[in-house]
Amino acid sequence: MSVQTAPAPTPATASATPEALLESLRELLGERLSTSAAVREQHGKDVSFHEGFPPDAVAFAHSTEEVQAIVRLCASHKTPIVPFGTGTSLEGHIAALKGGVCIDLSQMNSVLQVNDEDLDCRVQAGVTRKQLNEYLRETGLFFPIDPGADASLGGMAATRASGTNAVRYGTMRENVLGLTVVLADGRVIKTGGRARKSAAGYDLTRLFVGSEGTLGVITEIQLRLYGIPEAMSAAVCSFDTLEGAVNTVILTIQTGVPVARIELIDEVQMDAINRYSKFDYPVKPTLFFEFHGTEASVREQSETVAALAEELGGSNFVWSTLPEERSKLWQARHDGYWAAKALKPGAGGWATDVCVPISRLAECILETKKDIQASNLLAPIVGHVGDGNFHLTYLIDPDDPDELKRASAANDRMVMRAIGMGGTCTGEHGIGYGKIGFLQAEHGEAVSVMRTIKQALDPDGLMNPGKVLPA
C-alpha cells in the first residue's frame, strides 16, 4: 500500500479573512490583533519538518469569553480558525492551510484553582507544564506529563501528548478530568468534572483530548496531580546490541517493576548526545531509567533492573539520586533533537514516531534500523519504549531531493510496519497534516464515524481545516 507521508497541501491563494471581520476583531482586541508578516509567519510554522502556512491574522485572547467572541465573529464570516499554544507540535498542526485567524492562547496563562486534598487543579489553556510545576512547588504536588518541550497544557490536551513519564503516569488522556471548550458555533461547553470517575453520558472529554483543534478551542483544563515521590533515582546502562536493550525494557515491564521512565537511545543518538551535552557514555545502545517511590523501593527497583539488564548484555549500570545529575541526564534526553541535528550541520530534521505493543517492539525497531541503513540515511532513534513508543529523526540535506524521497519511503514503510503489528502511526506526535495519509490505513471504516462527528460539530469545516481527517 502506497501512502504519502506528508501530503503537500494547497494553501489558500487569497486571504480567507474579510476586512470587515478584521475590523470587528480590532474593535474587540485592539493591539492584540496582529497582521504583521513576522507574527503571522511565527504562528504558521511549528518545529516540525513540514512546510508552514501563515494565517491572515493572529488574535491574542485573554479569556474564554474573548475566545467565544472571536469564534462567533469568524463563524459569521465563514472564516477558518487555528488554535495556537506554543508552536511546539511536530506534524504541521498549526499551519493555516486555508488562511484565516489564528487564536493564540499563550496569554491565557493563569492557574485558576489547586485542590491539594483531591490532587487536581484547573488551569487556562496557555499555562505551560513547567509553569504549572513551578506554581505547585510548595504544595508537594506535581504534574508528570513531560513531552520534552515546555508545551502549553491546552496544546498538550489537544494533541493527546505524553512523553517520558507515560509508562508510569499515563498520557494526557488519563490525566485530563475535564475541559472548557468553545465550539465552532460559539457555544461554550464544560466536559467532565472533578470526580475521578463518572458513568453519566458520552465521554466528551476524551473526544476533545486529541482532536487537534478540529472540533473546538480548548480554553481551560482540569488536571490530575500527583504527590512528589519521597525518592527518585536516575540510571544509565549500555548494551552491546540494540536487541538486548529493547528486551530489557520488555522484561522490566512484564515483571511489573513500577519504573517511571525508560528511554532508549541508539548508538547514533548516543554519539550525538555525548557531543552536544558533553557526556562520555559508551557509544552503544543505551537505556536511561528513572525510579520513583520510597528510598527502599527505589533501591529495590534499581537493583532488580540492573540484574535484568546484566542478563541481557547490559553493562556500566550507574544510578544516582542526586537531583542535579537527574536533571542533567533528562535535559540531555530532551535536547536529543538538537543533538541529532548537530551531527549533520545544515540538515533539516524530520521527527516522526510510531507505537507498537511491547511484545513487537524489538522486532519493529530492529527492522526499522535495518531499513535506515539499507536506505543510506542518517536517522538516530530514541524512544519512550516503556509503552512501545519510539521516535527517529531523519536528517535530510535540503539540497538533495533524492534523500528526501528515500526518507519518505522509509517512513512509509516504518509506519505501515507498525500498523501491521497492531500498532499506530503515531504514539504521541499526532496527525496534523503530516500523517494524515495514514489514518485510513489504521482505522478503516472508523474514519467515516470521525467525519460524522466533525460534520456535526463543525459543519462549515472552520476549525483547523486540513488536519486529522483526509480530504
Residue matched to cell numbers 548516543? 270
Phi, psi (rounded to 5 degrees) for 402: -70, -35
Please indicate, yes or no, whether residues 129 and 196 belong to a single structural domain of this protein.
yes
Q: pTM to 2 decimals? A: 0.93
Of 227, 255, 271, the position where a domain reaches its end is 227
Contacts of 340-346 with C-beta under 8 Å, sequence gap 24+, read 340/269, 340/272, 340/380, 340/393, 340/395, 341/393, 341/395, 342/272, 342/275, 342/276, 343/268, 343/271, 343/272, 343/275, 343/378, 343/380, 343/395, 344/378, 344/395, 344/397, 346/397, 346/398
Please indicate, yes or no, whether residues 158 and 236 belong to a single structural domain of this protein.
no
Longest CA pairwise span in the chain (Å): 70
Please indicate, yes or no, whether residues 217 and 365 belong to a single structural domain of this protein.
no
Please indicate, yes or no, whether residues 262 and 401 belong to a single structural domain of this protein.
yes
Handedness of CA 329, 334, 337, 338 (dihedral sign): negative
Please indicate, yes or no, whether residues 356 and 372 belong to a single structural domain of this protein.
yes
User: Residues 248, 249, 252, 257: what is their CA dihedral angle, to the nearest 10 degrees?
Assistant: 140
| 448 in a structural domain | no
Please indicate, yes or no, whether residues 197 and 310 belong to a single structural domain of this protein.
no
| Residue 249 CB contacts under 8 Å (≥ 6 apart), including other chains | 262, 264, 287, 358, 361, 385, 386
Q: How far, in Å, are 110, 114, 143, 224, 453 from residue 138 at the CA level?
A: 17, 12, 13, 17, 42
**For residue 14, what pLDDT is reported?**
52
Handedness of CA 368, 319, 324, 275 (dihedral sign): negative
**For residue 10, what pLDDT is reported?**
58
Which string of b and e fits 431-464 if b means at least 16 CB within 10 Å? bbbbbbbbbbebeeeebeebeeebeebbeebbbb
Please indicate, yes or no, whether residues 212 and 270 belong to a single structural domain of this protein.
no
**Cross-strand pairs, 188:** 182
CATH value at residue 314: 3.40.462.10
Does residue 311 contact residue 264 with C-beta atoms inside 8 Å?
no
**For residue 12, what pLDDT is reported?**
55
Checking DSSP bridges between strand 226-227 and strand 216-224, what pairing results, if any? unpaired
| 60 in a structural domain | no
Annotate the chain with three-state secondary structure.
Answer: CCCCCCCCCCCCCCCCCCHHHHHHHHHHHHHHEECCHHHHHHCCCCCCCCCCCCCCEEEECCCHHHHHHHHHHHHHCCCCEEEECCCCCCCCCCCCCCCCEEEECCCCCCEEEEECCCCEEEEECCCEHHHHHHHHHHHCEECCCCCCCCCEHHHHHHCCCCCCCHHHHCCHHHHEEEEEEEECCCCEEEEECCCCCCCCCCCHHHHHCCCCCCCEEEEEEEEECEECCCEEEEEEEEECCHHHHHHHHHHHHHCCCCCCEEEEECHHHHHHHHHHHCCCCCCCCEEEEEEEECHHHHHHHHHHHHHHHHHCCEEEEEEECCHHHHHHHHHHHHCHHHHHHHCCCCCEEEEEEEECCHHHHHHHHHHHHHHHHHCCCCCCEEEEHHHCEEEEEEEECCCCHHHHHHHHHHHHHHHHHHHHCCCECCCCCCCCCCCHHHHHHHHCCHHHHHHHHHHHHCCCCCECCCCCCCC
Q: How far apart are CA 104 and CA 86, in angstroms?
A: 8
Average pLDDT per run of 10 along the chain, which is 471 residues long?
48 71 97 98 94 97 98 97 96 96 98 97 98 96 92 97 91 97 98 92 97 98 96 93 92 92 94 94 94 94 93 89 88 90 94 94 94 97 90 94 96 98 96 96 97 98 96 77
**For residue 413, what pLDDT is reported?**
98
**For residue 199, what pLDDT is reported?**
93
Please indicate, yes or no, whether residues 218 and 236 belong to a single structural domain of this protein.
no
Closest CA to 146 of 130, 134, 127: 130
Please indicate, yes or no, whether residues 246 and 263 belong to a single structural domain of this protein.
yes
Phi-psi region of 366 (alpha: psi -120 to 50; beta: other; left: phi over 0): alpha
**For residue 51, what pLDDT is reported?**
94
Tally of CB atoms within 10 A around 406: 18
Overall number of domains in the chain: 2
Please indicate, yes or no, whether residues 204 and 324 belong to a single structural domain of this protein.
no
Q: Tell me the Cα Rg of the chain.
A: 22
Q: How far apart are CA 318 and CA 332, in angstroms?
A: 16
CATH value at residue 137: 3.30.465.10
Residue ranges making up the domain that contains 277: 231-420
Please indicate, yes or no, whether residues 180 and 246 belong to a single structural domain of this protein.
no
Please indicate, yes or no, whether residues 208 and 329 belong to a single structural domain of this protein.
no
